[in-house]
Amino acid sequence: MVQMLGDAAMSSPLDQTDPYLREAQTFPLLDAGMIARIAQYGTEETVPAGTFLYRRGDRAADFFLLLDGAVETFDEGPDRERHVFTVHHAGQFTGETNFLNGRESLVSSQARTDTRLIRVPRLEFRRMLAAEPDLSEIVMRAFILRRLGFVRHQHGGVVLIGPSHCAETLRLQRFMTRNAYPHRTVATDLDGDAPEMMRRFGLGEADLPAVVAPGPVVLRNPSTWELADRIGLTEPLDEDRVFDVAVVGAGPAGLAAAVYAASEGLSTLVIEQEAPGGQAGTSSKIENYLGFPTGISGQALAGRAQIQAQKFGAHLAISRAACRLDCTDRPYRIALEDGRSARARAIVVATGARYRKLDLPDYERFEGQGIYYAATGTEARLCEQQAVAVVGGGNSAGQAAMFLSATAAHVHVLVRGPGLRATMSDYLVRRIATSPKITVHPFTEVTALAGDAFLRRVAWRDTRTGDVQAQALGALFVMIGAAPNTEWLCGCLPLDKGGFVSTGQDADGQALSSPFATTTPGIYAVGDVRAGSVKRVASGVGEGSVVVQAIHRFLDPGVG
C-alpha cells in the first residue's frame, strides 16, 4: 500500500473527491504481466538508498517502475523543508502529467532503501503509451489524478502573496489555476500570517503581488510569461526546428486540431497566450457537450484535451502570445511576445474571440477590480453573498449566472433585447426562469459605474421607459459580443468586415480546397475566429478535427 503523509492523511475517508484517497487509481499496483510488458521498454537497475530518481526543476524525467524497495516522493516549502507525501513500493510507478511534456518537475523522488527498478527513457515511454493502450489508460489516469492531488494539497507549488481583490493578484491566481499549477494564496488584507510572510521575504507593498517558490525564489509582480518561465511551466522551444503544423490558440478548436494532428504523426506545436480552453475554459459547467450528461467544466475539458495532445507528442508553448505572422516566405514564421519565434509548414489559426467591453467612464479602472470576463471559482469567492450582475444573453452568460447563483446573494442578468430565448440554449433559459436568485432585466443597458479602489455600484437603464436603477454590486461580469483575435495576422489573411478570418473561397467566390482554407496556401482558420462559424464548443472541436485532413493534403499532395 502507498503511504500518504501530511495533508492527505488528515482528509476524511468519506471525501472521495480527494484523489489521494483513490489509491487503486492514483497509485495503482501493477500485476506481474503488466510489469513484464513494461520491462520490454526499459532496463533493470538497482539504485542505492538516497539516490534521486529526479528532483524538482528537472525536465523530461524518466519513468520508473519499482520491482523491490521503496521510493519516497516529496515537495519542498519556501525554505526547502521536506514534506514526504507518497512512498512507492514494488509494482508501483513514479510520475505525473509533467512527464508528458518538457516542463519542470514539481516534486522530487528519492530511493528510501536500496531499490531495484525498471527505468524507461522518455522516448520509449512515449512508445509504450502508443503501443500498450490498457497500460496507457492506467498510467494516464494515475498521472491526471496525481496532478489533481498536487493542486488540492498544494504539493509542489508556490505561494502567491497579495491583496485579495487586486487585479494583478487575480491575474496570477487565474493563470496558475487554469494551468493546474498548485499554489497557495496569502491575502494581505485578510490573512493574519501575511505581515510575517512579507517581513520574512523582504516584501513591501510596492512588491505585491509576489510569488515565492522554494529556494526561496521571490518574484515581485511578475508578468505572466515571466512567472511561467520561472516556475517551469514553459517548455523549451527550438527556434531552428520546423514543425509540420503550428496551431495558434488552445481553445476547443485548437486543441482538437492538435490532438488529431499529433495522433496522425504530424509534428505539432501549440501556441497559447494564457491557458488551454480559451473562452470555453472559463465556463463553470458545459452541459450540452456530447458525452457528458452531467456536464463538465470548461477547465476540466480543456485540461483533458491538453493532456491528450501531449500524450501524442504535441509541443505546447503556454503563456506565449503570437504577436506577428510572417507569411512572405515558407516555412511560415510566427513571432512571439518574448522575442522568440516558431516556424511551421502549415498553420491553424484558432485564436478565437474575446468579449467586447462596455463604453463607460471608469470602465478600465475597474477591470479586474470588480469587472470580470469569466465566472470561475476565483471570481465567485470574491463576491460571495453579494449581489452581482451578468451582462449578456449567450450561453456563457447563462452558465455564469447559474454558477454564481450558488454563492451570490442575487444575480441580475442584463440583456439589451427582449429576453434570452433567441440567444441562449433552452435548458439554461428554463433554469434561469425558475431560479429565485436570478432576475432577468430585458431591454437594459449599463449606464454608470461607481466605487473606490473596487467597483461598488452599477446603474442601468430600461431603454423602453428610461427608468434608471442603481444597485450595490460585488461584481459585474461582462459577456457581450465577440471581437476576433486577429491583430497578429498582419495582413496575411483576408478578414470580413467584423475582423473574422474569411475561409472557403477566394476573392472571386471560387471554392478553395477546404472550407477552413484561407487564400494563403497552408494557412487555415477554425473555431470562433473564423467568419461564419457556429460559436459552440462542439462545432469548434469538429472544425479542429476535420481541418487536419486538409493539412495532410497540403503537406503531401499525394494523400487522398
Hey, how many other C-beta atoms are within 10 angstroms of the C-beta on 333? 19
Check if the beta carbon of residue 48 is closer than 8 Å to that of residue 58.
Answer: no
Q: Alpha-carbon distance 73 to 107, whole Å? A: 7
Across 283-287, average pLDDT: 86
pLDDT in tens, 293-334: 999 999 999 999 999 999 999 999 988 899 999 999 999 999
Instruction: Give backbone dihedrals phi and psi of 538, rounded to 5 degrees, phi first.
Output: -65, -40
Q: For cell 450528461, what's the residue?
A: 293
Per-residue pLDDT at 440: 98
User: Could you give the maximum distance between any two Cα atoms of the chain, in Å?
Assistant: 81
The answer on pLDDT for 557 being more than 90 is no
Residue 109 β-bridge partners: 54, 73
Q: Alpha-carbon distance 220 to 521, whole Å? A: 44
Residue ranges and CATH numbers for the domains of the chain are 6-153 (2.60.120.10), 158-222 (3.40.30.10), 242-352+485-555 (3.50.50.60), 357-482 (3.50.50.60)
Per-residue pLDDT at 450: 97
In 3D space, the residue among 80, 91, 94 whose CA is nearest the CA of residue 125 turns out to be 94
Q: Please, which residues have CB within 8 angstroms of residue 134's CB and are 6 or more apart in sequence? A: none
Residue 282 β-bridge partners: none
Per-residue pLDDT at 458: 98
Q: What percent of the chain has pLDDT over 90?
A: 84
The 8 Å CB, 24+ separation contacts for 224-229 are 224/171, 224/172, 224/175, 224/274, 224/319, 225/319, 225/320, 225/337, 225/338, 227/172, 227/175, 227/176, 227/319, 228/175, 228/179, 228/318, 228/319, 229/319
pLDDT in tens, 341-375: 999 999 999 999 988 999 999 999 999 999 999 89
pLDDT in tens, 149-205: 999 999 999 999 999 989 999 999 999 999 999 999 999 999 999 999 999 999 999
Handedness of CA 396, 400, 403, 406 (dihedral sign): negative
Q: Alpha-carbon distance 71 to 55, whole Å? A: 13
Per-residue pLDDT at 234: 87
- Residue 31, classified by CB atoms within 10 Å of its CB into exposed (0-12), middle (13-18) or buried (19+), is exposed
Cell of 110: 528519492
Q: For cell 513514479, what's the residue?
A: 94
Q: Alpha-carbon distance 192 to 551, whole Å? A: 56
Q: How many residues does the chain have?
A: 560
pLDDT in tens, 415-460: 999 999 999 999 999 999 999 999 999 999 999 999 998 999 999 9
Rounded (10°) CA dihedral 454, 377, 483, 166: 30
Q: Alpha-carbon distance 435 to 141, whole Å? A: 37
Q: Alpha-carbon distance 489 to 335, whole Å? A: 10
What's the order of all strands across the beta sheet hosting 183-187?
Answer: 183-187, 158-162, 210-213, 217-220
- Calculate the alpha carbon distances from 549 to 93, 179, 257, 380, 554 in Å: 37, 29, 10, 41, 9
Hey, how many other C-beta atoms are within 10 angstroms of the C-beta on 184? 11
Per-residue pLDDT at 16: 59
Residue 457 β-bridge partners: 450, 472
Per-residue pLDDT at 560: 53
Q: Please, which residues have CB within 8 angstroms of residue 14's CB and are 6 or more apart in sequence? A: none
Instruction: Give backbone dihedrals phi and psi of 305, rounded to 5 degrees, phi first.
Output: -65, -35
Check if the beta carbon of residue 276 is closer than 8 Å to that of residue 258.
Answer: no
What's the distance, CA 542 to chain centroid? 20
Check if the beta carbon of residue 460 is closer than 8 Å to that of residue 447.
Answer: yes
Q: Alpha-carbon distance 519 to 65, whole Å? A: 51
Three-state DSSP class for residue 428:
helix
